[in-house]
Structure 1
Amino acid sequence: MLCCFCRPSSLNTHPPFFPQELLCATFPSLCMSGTLCNPSNAVPHASSSVCPTTPPSLYTREICAMDELHSLDPRRQELLEARFTGVVSGSTGSTGSCSVGAKASTNNESSNHSFGSLGSLSDKESETPEKKPSEPSRGRKRKAENQSESSQGKSIGGRGHKISDYFEYQGGNGSSPVRGISPAIRSPQNSHSHSTPSSVQQNSPSPTALAFGDHPVTQPKQLSFKITQTDLTMLKLAALESNKNQDLEKKEGRIDDLLRANCDLRRQIDEQQKLLEKYKERLNKCISMSKKLLIEKSTQEKLASREKSMQDRLRLGHFTTVRHGASFTEQWTDGFAFQNLVKQQEWVNQQREDIERQRKLLAKRKPPSTNNSQTPSANSEPKQRKNKAVNGAENDPFLRPSLPQLLTLAEYHEQEEIFKLRLGHLKKEEAEIQAELERLERVRNLHIRELKRINNEDNSQFKDHPTLNERYLLLHLLGRGGFSEVYKAFDLYEQRYAAVKIHQLNKSWRDEKKENYHKHACREYRIHKELDHPRIVKLYDYFSLDTDTFCTVLEYCEGNDLDFYLKQHKLMSEKEARSIVMQIVNALRYLNEIKPPIIHYDLKPGNILLVDGTACGEIKITDFGLSKIMDDDSYGVDGMDLTSQGAGTYWYLPPECFVVGKEPPKISNKVDVWSVGVIFFQCLYGRKPFGHNQSQQDILQENTILKATEVQFPVKPVVSNEAKAFIRRCLAYRKEDRFDVHQLANDPYLLPHMRRSNSSGNLHMTGLAASPTPPTSSIISY
């Protein structure tokens, strides 16, 4: 297919001085072949002026474009002719000119002398003079001028050299270098992979493109040809292209796989999000139902406890308000159960008195022994006189009681045996009454404690099952202290029971006192939260409710403390007490092995919790409010200064804590060792070793602990000598003679006992009541 530029010269309508190749390159939109045309492929048509391969519409457009080219401004046409007719020597770079009339010669000399070179056209456009406005003229004269100029251009082109003469190209036929290039090289796709000796560059629009007025022409692509040396063949290039295409396909496939995987993951995330929302909704429903059931159960328990308290109020007793002058005090009144026991005790006493009186009468009727009848004694004469006096007084007007008749020996022994049996039965009944009285006293203590708890719960502001910190549901009150309340709560997040201790500051306190109390509580929290031991109550959480209220969440233990157990049972067996002491010492050893070590300083039965409420189970230590941290700054060789002298429970503190001087006393972990000895003594004997039945004020005023140089053991109950020796080591008066925690943990009494067999020298390890092992056995048993 040939365009209007590629047709034979007989059919061309453009001026002959325009090279066909360059016109096709300059106006690619008018070239139908899409590449640089070759005139050798043109087929002349004598009978038609239209290229047979050119569509009529496109040919019409080409004719219009050529008409516009002929109607160019003379100056622009001259510049365009000069661009394509300028001659420059390719080897020397000297410039030449071709004059076309006087006016054309002037223009070429000024701006277009070097346009024949193959350099960039953009470098020459800057030297082109600006377009001067031409005077308007009539259209017919304009057409004549254009025709004359066109003919003049033809004559000039005819007289000048061919444009192919100005290219240094070794084609062999003297034709244009572009025409000598193979079609594969002349294609725009292969212009960068193959090189030729010449290069044609166009960096700026052609002046011819500006001559079309309002019809802009697309700028042709830049053609660049370079000479390179390579060992690549077409096969290698095809292989590289194939590998590149394969890599590209793999990458595209990988991208598609990743996109599909990403879509799957997004779909899974969406599904998981929906599932998560579903589970959250279900969890919220479960939490709401749990709260409802827990509140319902707690309400029922509260009602049951109050009903039971009202029933026990009549049976066990109640508090009554009694007026003493201008004040009112509460006084306890026993119930009918205690009154019945009192009546039974009175009846037993009366029966005993009757038996004793009858036994005295029986002694008067005791028959004389057989030995006395055979050998009358010296006292027989006074008796005979007495009998005569009685018999001679028959005529006396006053009646005298008759003497009891003497019983036979068998009758006397029979009555004596009956009286002994009755006395034994009364003693048994009295023992039963005493046991029942002790049992009722224990129940009464529980009843009194429950009455106080109910009263405190009814007066508490947290009685209506609030949820603290959106997590802890308060169920019922466990106890109340000076400035705190302990509630049994349920952790809705962890689904477990917990003990919430609510600290309430007095609103009338000064800010300084509130700050000190809060600092003290925060210190306890910092100490306690780092502890992790099975014999120490865990601290779960700490939060504030308002400026005057904050809470600590502790591990919940179902049983009571050791103090309550001792009040109920007075004492316990040595095995049970030893088990409790072993667990306490184990916890103290942990407190002294961590860094920095910790002194509890407030060990007492009230701070030892029985997990299941019995003495034969596990225990846990709580309340680290008075604990001391033995850091390097405050702890020396002699111990650390006691900055809180006067605090604590006096019955369980050693003598060095009561020393008053210019400097504060020095304490160490031996304070806790003394407390262990006091607790062990109280568990065994049911009383405190020092200051029993004394108040703390009396202990402080009378210096009871300072005078406790030696411990005295009661006769009953019977305790082993090893236990007494262990207590003496714990209660040594001088702290230098007292064991520390590490020595106490390795005490032989707390370890399995060593005994030597009688028949052999083998050692056997047994417990307190271990069964005997075979004498020939050398196996160590626990």
Structure 2
Amino acid sequence: MMEELHSLDPRRQELLEARFTGVGVAKVCLIAWIYITSPCSLMIMEFIPSQTPEKKSSDQRVRKRKVDPFDNNQGESSVSVFGKSQMHVTVLNSDLTIEKLTALENNKSSDLEKKEGRIDDLLRANCDLRRQLDEQQRMLERYKERLNKCVTMSKKLLIEKSKQEKMACRDKSMQDRLRLGHFTTVRHGASFTEQWTDGYAFQNLIKQQERINSQREDIERQRKLLGKRKPPAMGQTPPPSLEQNNGTLFLYHEQEEIFKLRLGHLKKEEAEIQAELERLERVRNLHIRELKRIHNEDNSQFKDHPTLNDRYLLLHLLGRGGFSEVYKAFDLTEQRYVAVKIHQLNKNWRDEKKENYHKHACREYRIHKELDHPRIVKLYDYFSLDTDSFCTVLEYCEGNDLDFYLKQHKLMSEKEGRSIIMQIVSALKYLNDIRPPIIHYDLKPGNILLVNGTACGEIKITDFGLSKIMDDDSYNSVDGMELTSQGAGTYWYLPPECFVVGKEPPKISNKVDVWSVGVIFYQCLYGRKPFGHNQSQQDILQENTILKATEVQFPPKPVVSPEAKAFIRRCLAYRKEDRIDVHQLASDPYLMPHIRKSVGSTGASGTAVPSTSSSSNSSASN
């Protein structure tokens, strides 16, 4: 029996010995494997601690009776030993052999060793990963610190460069004040107004023009006197004085030739002075624009290079509008130049008006944010500064807008104008292909950016503040959509239907943008607007200028091709039913070179070319 107990697992032996030494609290059942016969038997030993006679229950007294240790009546035996403590051993027969038990024990030991080994491996791997994670974390912190240093240094260098550029701009502006002119404050009664005074460059040219005019007048006066002394013709002279008359007539023609040469030279010199004067006027326009920009920048609250939204470093002011300022800025996160438009509301506005303006700006942001086209300025971000100001972050374009270019150069060649119109139409087609389609409604030269500042490069459309969304709820394919913002926009570039006043709001469609394209193209070619050129917006509205614009007139100069004139007529058709839409505009033969060539060759051979206006009418009726 004791040998069998010694064969138990050491842990079980310790538990059994602890019970035998008298540390008993409650009865403990221990299972030991004993090997009595060939089929292994399971012996269950139950130890009952000794108790005082007073606390013995009837159940315990029953257990105390002597039992045959090997009672085979029910296949189990019970043994009572150790005096006052009883141990009941129950032996259960089993079919396990010692070899199987040993094999099981070995398998369990092997599995346990494998698991313990796997646990050790995982613990070591976990430690390695933790060490690598800590190392990567330290490396990340070093990189963050290094990146912060780089960003700080970039900010420092950008601010230093911006300050140097500002200083250079102000020095140049001060020098140009003497050469080109400057504003002076003049008092008129109780008020003060700014008056422009030309610089010495203009004054010198004006003096040269006055000198030329004086010389011309002198020459003309001498020619008149010479004409009065003109000798008679050869047939009218008497024979005795023939030789004398020949000399006088020769001197007359000689002097007349001198006067003609002097007048021709003065005319050439006057043309050169006029060309120089026009060049100086363009430079003066830049100078005046720079003076205003510097003045607005010096009075701006953002002039000291703040970093907005912890990301956008403001460098210098690009321009200022009614309620907004546009700054060139640097995106410290994406490492690129951007244009930050700061919208500042009037603090004296009512809360309702502020809310409407903010809602309008949010609407523009939502429209513009989703647009992705190479001919449309990208909108990157939108955030608020405080309750009265917020910002939009736009793609930065280095050049100027088309409006400034036309003010500088008056007009451009037909090829340059057609290239610009092709790019505008490409953007309009994209706006009408997306869902829901969009009407820009405010196409004008000021909203067309020339990427490199010239007419022979790429353009980008901007400013979607007045855009109209043609969703299913508000747009009808036949009638269009209601114009809820009548009176907004730039009147020179809006079609007649936008000025119709009635019981109901007028209906508009994408043909509004088609009309704007025609006006812009006309202005590029002729240097003037087709309707209301020298009128203000108020005069256009009061005199119904656009409502009377039934037909466009083309001046004789400069010379423009008939195809370009026909294209403009198709865009500026008075009735919107007769006007082509954006998709027809995109497929117009004038804007497609291969079609233009085939149409030109067909027209030259005498074959009739189908009219685009008739096809547009049928499409409109459909």
Q: Deviation of residue 247 (structure 1)?
A: 3.8
1:367 and 1:407 in contact (8 A); partners too: no
Closer, same or farther: CA 223–457 of 1 in aligned 2, 3 Å = farther
Counterpart amino acid of 1:581?
A: I
The counterpart of 2:458, out of the listed 618, 621, 624, is 618
The alignment status of 1:741 with 2:582, answered yes or no, reads: yes
Closer, same or farther: CA 757–498 of 1 in aligned 2, 3 Å = closer
Q: Deviation of residue 426 (structure 1)?
A: 0.8
The counterpart of 2:437, out of the listed 597, 619, 631, is 597
1:25 and 1:36 in contact (8 A); partners too: no
1:580 and 1:615 in contact (8 A); partners too: yes
Report what 2:163 is aligned to: 299
Alignment of 1:121-520 (within 5 A): 167-169=70-72, 197-200=75-78, 208-209=84-85, 223-229=89-95, 238-373=102-237, 407-520=247-360
Report what 1:690 is aligned to: 531
2:77 and 2:90 in contact (8 A); partners too: yes
1:608 and 1:620 in contact (8 A); partners too: yes
Closer, same or farther: CA 695–756 of 1 in aligned 2, 3 Å = closer
2:399 and 2:451 in contact (8 A); partners too: yes
How far apart are the structure 2 equivalents of 1:405 and 1:586?
Answer: 76
Report what 2:507 is aligned to: 666
How far apart are the structure 1 equivalents of 2:372 and 2:425?
Answer: 16
Counterpart amino acid of 1:198?
A: E
Alignment of 1:33-112 (within 5 A): 112=61
Counterpart amino acid of 2:189?
A: G
How far apart are the structure 2 equivalents of 1:299 and 1:597?
Answer: 44
Closer, same or farther: CA 260–113 of 1 in aligned 2, 3 Å = closer
How far does the alpha carbon of each residue in 1:134-160 deviate from its partner, in whole angstroms, 9 at most, with x for none?
xxxxxxxxxxxxxxxxxxxxxxxxxxx
Closer, same or farther: CA 462–206 of 1 in aligned 2, 3 Å = farther
How far apart are the structure 2 equivalents of 1:608 and 1:475?
Answer: 23
2:338 and 2:394 in contact (8 A); partners too: yes
Report what 2:476 is aligned to: 636
2:71 and 2:78 in contact (8 A); partners too: no
Counterpart amino acid of 1:311?
A: Q
How far apart are the structure 2 equivalents of 1:524 and 1:113?
Answer: 96
Closer, same or farther: CA 588–265 of 1 in aligned 2, 3 Å = same
How far apart are the structure 1 equivalents of 2:495 and 2:356?
Answer: 27
The counterpart of 2:399, out of the listed 559, 571, 576, is 559
Secondary structure in 1 matching 2:363:
helix
Counterpart amino acid of 1:438?
A: E
The alignment status of 1:578 with 2:418, answered yes or no, reads: yes
1 or 2, which has the higher strand percentage?
2
How far does the alpha carbon of each residue in 1:563-582 deviate from its partner, in whole angstroms, 9 at most, with x for none?
00000000011111111111
Give the share of equivalent positions with the same residue, in percent. Answer: 79
How far apart are the structure 1 equivalents of 2:163 and 2:115?
Answer: 69
Counterpart amino acid of 1:168?
A: D
Secondary structure in 1 matching 2:476:
coil
How far apart are the structure 1 equivalents of 2:415 and 2:117?
Answer: 78
Counterpart amino acid of 1:498?
A: V
Q: Deviation of residue 25 (structure 1)?
A: 9.9
After TM superposition, the structure 1 stretch with the greater mean CA deviation from structure 2, 751-760 or 508-517, is 751-760
Q: Deviation of residue 256 (structure 1)?
A: 2.8
How far does the alpha carbon of each residue in 1:78-102 deviate from its partner, in whole angstroms, 9 at most, with x for none?
x9xxxxxxxxxxxxxxxxxxxxxxx
The counterpart of 1:530, out of the listed 370, 393, 406, is 370
Q: Deviation of residue 310 (structure 1)?
A: 1.2
Closer, same or farther: CA 324–406 of 1 in aligned 2, 3 Å = farther
Closer, same or farther: CA 117–335 of 1 in aligned 2, 3 Å = same
How far apart are the structure 2 equivalents of 1:36 and 1:486?
Answer: 92
Counterpart amino acid of 2:518?
A: G
Closer, same or farther: CA 741–198 of 1 in aligned 2, 3 Å = same
How far apart are the structure 1 equivalents of 2:17 and 2:290?
Answer: 111
Structure 2 gap ranges (5+): 4-15, 23-31, 35-49, 606-622
Q: Deviation of residue 198 (structure 1)?
A: 2.2
Closer, same or farther: CA 315–760 of 1 in aligned 2, 3 Å = closer
CA RMSD across the alignment: 3.5
The alignment status of 1:647 with 2:488, answered yes or no, reads: yes
How far apart are the structure 2 equivalents of 1:117 and 1:714?
Answer: 137
How far apart are the structure 2 equivalents of 1:460 and 1:27?
Answer: 92
How far does the alpha carbon of each residue in 1:57-109 deviate from its partner, in whole angstroms, 9 at most, with x for none?
xxxxxxxxxxxx9xx98x69xx9xxxxxxxxxxxxxxxxxxxxxxxxxxx99x
Q: Deviation of residue 258 (structure 1)?
A: 2.5
Q: Deviation of residue 558 (structure 1)?
A: 0.7
Report what 1:706 is aligned to: 547
Report what 2:520 is aligned to: 679
Q: Report the TM-score, using the length of structure 2 for normalisation.
A: 0.83
Secondary structure in 2 matching 1:269:
helix
Closer, same or farther: CA 258–568 of 1 in aligned 2, 3 Å = same
How far apart are the structure 1 equivalents of 2:578 and 2:160?
Answer: 58
Q: Deviation of residue 420 (structure 1)?
A: 2.1
Counterpart amino acid of 1:743?
A: Q
2:532 and 2:540 in contact (8 A); partners too: yes
How far does the alpha carbon of each residue in 1:385-444 deviate from its partner, in whole angstroms, 9 at most, with x for none?
xxxxxxxxxxxxxxxxxxx99844444443333222222211111001101111111111
Closer, same or farther: CA 250–421 of 1 in aligned 2, 3 Å = farther
2:231 and 2:245 in contact (8 A); partners too: no
Q: Deviation of residue 368 (structure 1)?
A: 4.1
Report what 1:542 is aligned to: 382
How far apart are the structure 2 equivalents of 1:201 and 1:483?
Answer: 105
1:572 and 1:683 in contact (8 A); partners too: yes
How far apart are the structure 1 equivalents of 2:378 and 2:232?
Answer: 81
1:541 and 1:552 in contact (8 A); partners too: yes
Closer, same or farther: CA 595–678 of 1 in aligned 2, 3 Å = same
1:366 and 1:407 in contact (8 A); partners too: no
Report what 1:140 is aligned to: none
Counterpart amino acid of 2:276?
A: E
1 or 2, which has the higher helix percentage?
2
The counterpart of 2:564, out of the listed 709, 723, 729, is 723
Secondary structure in 2 matching 1:664:
coil
1:365 and 1:406 in contact (8 A); partners too: no
Closer, same or farther: CA 345–237 of 1 in aligned 2, 3 Å = same
Closer, same or farther: CA 742–199 of 1 in aligned 2, 3 Å = farther
Q: Deviation of residue 366 (structure 1)?
A: 4.2
Closer, same or farther: CA 26–293 of 1 in aligned 2, 3 Å = closer
How far apart are the structure 1 equivalents of 2:417 and 2:139?
Answer: 55
Structure 1 gap ranges (5+): 4-23, 38-68, 80-106, 119-162, 171-195, 210-218, 381-403, 764-782
Counterpart amino acid of 1:272?
A: Q
Q: Report the TM-score, using the length of structure 1 for normalisation.
A: 0.67
1:489 and 1:497 in contact (8 A); partners too: yes
How far apart are the structure 1 equivalents of 2:433 and 2:575?
Answer: 24
How far does the alpha carbon of each residue in 1:642-696 deviate from its partner, in whole angstroms, 9 at most, with x for none?
1100000000000000000000001111111111110011011100000001000
2:401 and 2:446 in contact (8 A); partners too: yes
